[in-house]
Structure 1
Amino acid sequence: MTPGRSGGGLPDWSGRRVVVVGEAIVDRYWYGQVERISPEAPVPVVRVGEREIRPGGAANVAANLAALGLGATLVTALGRDEAGRTLARELAGRGVGIAGPDLPDGRPTPVKTRVIARHQQVVRLDEEQVDPVPDAAAEALRDAALAALDGASALIVSDYGKGLLDGRNLPELLRAARASGIPAVVDPKLRNVQHYGGALVITPNLAEATRAAALDPGEPDAAERAGRRLLERLDVEAVLVTLGEKGMLLVRRGAPPVAIPARAREVFDVTGAGDTVAAVLGAALAAGLDLEAGARLANAAAAIAVGRLGTAAVGADELRAVLEEQT
């Protein structure tokens, strides 16, 4: 695969398709005004006006890929409920293909409802089950993901710890991707870290990386030390530690770490920024860029994502504009 450029600093990823495997979430936003404090308890009363639904979790990763102009196949499991049907329609409208089993009867599509007033989140309501799904669902997801890999240019595992991904499907999927020469990016959860062998790169934040490595995040060089320790423990080639307002640190085998300063002018909301990082890094690898170039591109996209309220897909034109501003 020979990397190219489509102009404006973006790689040429036309014709590339990326498979996203993981837990899809419905992100609901209820916007309103705080008019008074409740007489029943010391909490604000929010008069709800506008309501909005956005793809969250693995669905947000897939939506970001589609917004960038890549083909995106989301392999997930949705509940047999209105939330699942609504999310499927929303993704279809964005050009995202969906594969995978239904969630077992009675298990809902995960929904996170955020109540927003005066551009701030007042409360978040989570409706979900996080215990492991039955074997039949875990194995059906694995089989659907393996089938989706045929002809794919990259794989992204978006692990939100909702019981869909674990040792029953992750190891075989990641080994298959490696055997096929498909670069795999994993946005990880601590409880599954031992199952990520075979991935090219994992993308924990500092808290996740240091917990997995049994380190204090306040220690000097904690990000690099955590990355090195994870490389010792896991069969992966690199760890990209996201550091919020401090940017990212890329830790690779046999190479010095690469510090990538943050590009954000203002951090407004970090919700979904990790999804954007995983999506853009996966897109860059699909186009043939190396890890460092892909990480720098993902860092630029994260600067756009954190300047918005809530989960949002970063489009190719927006990313191109940011790159042109900083060249």
Structure 2
Amino acid sequence: MKSSYQHIINKFNSSKVLVIGDVILDSYLKGDSTRLSPEAPVPVVNVLTKEEAVGGAANIALNLCALGAEVTFLSAVGSDEEGQRAIDILKEKGIGTDFIVKEEGRRTTVKTRVMAKAQILARFDQGTQQAIQLDTQKKLEKVLLERFDDFEAVVIGDYYQGILTPYIVSVLQKLQQSSPKLLSVDSKELTAFRDLRPTLVKPNYFEAMKLAGLEYQSSSRVSQAEITGKALFEKTGAEIIALSLDAEGALIFEEGELSYRADAYNVPAPNVVGAGDTFISAFTLSLLNNADIGSATELAIAAATVAIQKDDTAPCYNSELKAFFTSNSKMVTDTEELKQIADIYRSQGKKIVFTNGCFDILHSGHVSYLNRSKELGDVLIVALNCDESVQRLKGPDRPINPLDDRIEVLSGLSSIDHVISFGHHNEDSPVELIKAARPDIYAKGGDYTKETLPEASLVEELGGKIEFVSFVPDHSTTRIIHRINNGGQLRQPA
């Protein structure tokens, strides 16, 4: 993992953030559909489960909290069952909800999706979209006046549900003038917040083109978007504009000038719902903790990439963001990182293969063994004995190649996804690493049996399976060393 990223992510935990905006309760009716209704040409869904989550600014609050921030949420819901359920979900996730006002006569916004497996067949929306009552606005104002100085950053999530009234915006403007905070805004009407002079806004391609007065394009979107910086700065007044282009990455403008271009990671069949909330949350926390523009952008894209790989709308957690950078580099530094990486792979339904050894002088027998081990699953993790461990196992003249060299050589093999060392504390068995990785497959050489493999019972206890992979005959590090010592002669040692 890049140490600068790790340092920034670790500092997320000290961040205090106020989120202001709309609460949306997302309801999912999930089931199977095998026939059409006799009453109309529509599918009949046999509902098996009902799931609920919070959306809108509430999802931004969840993302900030998942990334480690201390979050307080300022909003209003209806004095109804749906509003209480949304509050309960937020409480369960550790969000401060004392400042969510229940307004009499208001209906909480609910979006109900009817789904047959992964396919949405219909969506039903309900809720009050008119502006909150003046009495409610005064209650929110009171919180802002009393608590504004308690926070280091403010994030606005405006989803047209009547919370961010002109009055509330004017209150924020006065507070920003007297005690400016890092202020991020996500809204389809960014011009409404121009007088706040936001630190960060996050339009998507379509919102940006609308602001710039340009027609949408199906191709060459990046080159078109690159020239919009000045117009976007004029319309939003934002210091930083993060223009998201989905699979084409993001463009970052500073005071209207293009300053950074980031590519997106390739994710098969992404679930992009809520990705923008994850992006702005990670970007905000990165800026708050002194990340430069490039690092903030890369962290935001990484967090969104983690989120869109999940089946349901879900945030990126602090540990997952750390693990993301490790999982995109082969070297793993400790058991905690290994556990986080393995958990991510399992959440993606990937089969983990684990093996270990000294791999002192890499030869064709090793390469064949590792290739065949990788074929047993999707991800191959190799645990490598440290130099002290190799000495204990092989004698004082080994290893021939020190640990750093062996790691670098193994990292160059396409069959290997991750390398981690062990044995630094006088242990010559990778037991702790196996506990952390919980592999589906533990691969070992054909010279072992289950009875002679100390780790076998642990692997099976954790739900894994032992697979023995045959070595290539007459290929071994010891044989190579003796050949070198004997002037290249293929003579077995006495």
TM-score, with normalisation over the residues of structure 2?
A: 0.61
Contact kept, 8 Å, 1:170 with 1:196, in 2: the verdict is no
Mapping for residues 45-124 of structure 1, pairs under 5 Å: 45-100=44-99, 102-124=101-123
CA 1:292–1:7 in structure 2 vs 1: closer, same or farther (change >3 Å)?
Answer: closer
CA displacement at 1:293 relative to structure 2: 2.1
2:203 equivalent in structure 1: 204
> Structure 1, residues 290-327: CA drift from partner, whole Å, max 9, x if none?
34322221111111222233421211121111122234
Unaligned ranges ≥5, structure 2: 330-494
**Matches of 1:148 and 1:313, distance apart in 2:** 26
Contact kept, 8 Å, 1:32 with 1:116, in 2: the verdict is yes
CA 1:213–1:157 in structure 2 vs 1: closer, same or farther (change >3 Å)?
Answer: same
Of the three residues 186, 193, 198, the one matched with 1:195 is: 193
Larger mean Cα displacement after TM superposition, 193-202 or 270-279: 193-202
Mapping for residues 231-250 of structure 1, pairs under 5 Å: 231-250=233-252
**Matches of 1:52 and 1:215, distance apart in 2:** 39
Contact kept, 8 Å, 1:17 with 1:152, in 2: the verdict is yes
Contact kept, 8 Å, 1:33 with 1:46, in 2: the verdict is yes
Contact kept, 8 Å, 1:27 with 1:55, in 2: the verdict is yes
**Matches of 2:317 and 2:270, distance apart in 1:** 18
> Structure 1, residues 256-300: CA drift from partner, whole Å, max 9, x if none?
331111124224322111111121112222322234322221111
SS in 1 for 2:140: helix
Contact kept, 8 Å, 1:29 with 1:51, in 2: the verdict is yes
**Matches of 1:250 and 1:51, distance apart in 2:** 39
CA 1:14–1:214 in structure 2 vs 1: closer, same or farther (change >3 Å)?
Answer: same
> Structure 1, residues 115-157: CA drift from partner, whole Å, max 9, x if none?
2222122222111222222333234324323433222121110
1:253 equivalent in structure 2: 255
RMSD: 2.3
Identity %: 31
SS in 1 for 2:300: helix
CA 1:326–1:23 in structure 2 vs 1: closer, same or farther (change >3 Å)?
Answer: same
SS in 1 for 2:38: coil
**Matches of 1:187 and 1:207, distance apart in 2:** 14
CA 1:153–1:111 in structure 2 vs 1: closer, same or farther (change >3 Å)?
Answer: same
**What letter is aligned with 2:279?**
V
SS in 2 for 1:102: strand
**Matches of 2:266 and 2:82, distance apart in 1:** 33
2:23 equivalent in structure 1: 24
Larger RCO (alpha carbons 8 Å, 6+ apart): 1
Q: Give the helix-richer structure, 1 or 2.
A: 2
Mapping for residues 280-299 of structure 1, pairs under 5 Å: 280-299=282-301
Contact kept, 8 Å, 2:260 with 2:293, in 1: the verdict is no
**What letter is aligned with 2:267?**
R
**Matches of 2:56 and 2:115, distance apart in 1:** 19
CA 1:254–1:202 in structure 2 vs 1: closer, same or farther (change >3 Å)?
Answer: closer
1:320 equivalent in structure 2: 322
**What letter is aligned with 2:11?**
D
Contact kept, 8 Å, 2:229 with 2:256, in 1: the verdict is no
**Matches of 1:317 and 1:213, distance apart in 2:** 38
**Matches of 2:290 and 2:7, distance apart in 1:** 17
**Matches of 2:178 and 2:265, distance apart in 1:** 35
TM-score, with normalisation over the residues of structure 1?
A: 0.90
1:301 equivalent in structure 2: 303
Unaligned ranges ≥5, structure 1: none
Contact kept, 8 Å, 1:8 with 1:324, in 2: the verdict is no
CA displacement at 1:29 relative to structure 2: 1.4
CA displacement at 1:99 relative to structure 2: 4.2
**Matches of 2:280 and 2:77, distance apart in 1:** 21
CA 1:24–1:236 in structure 2 vs 1: closer, same or farther (change >3 Å)?
Answer: same
Mapping for residues 273-284 of structure 1, pairs under 5 Å: 273-284=275-286
Stretches (4+) displaced over 4 A? none
SS in 2 for 1:98: coil
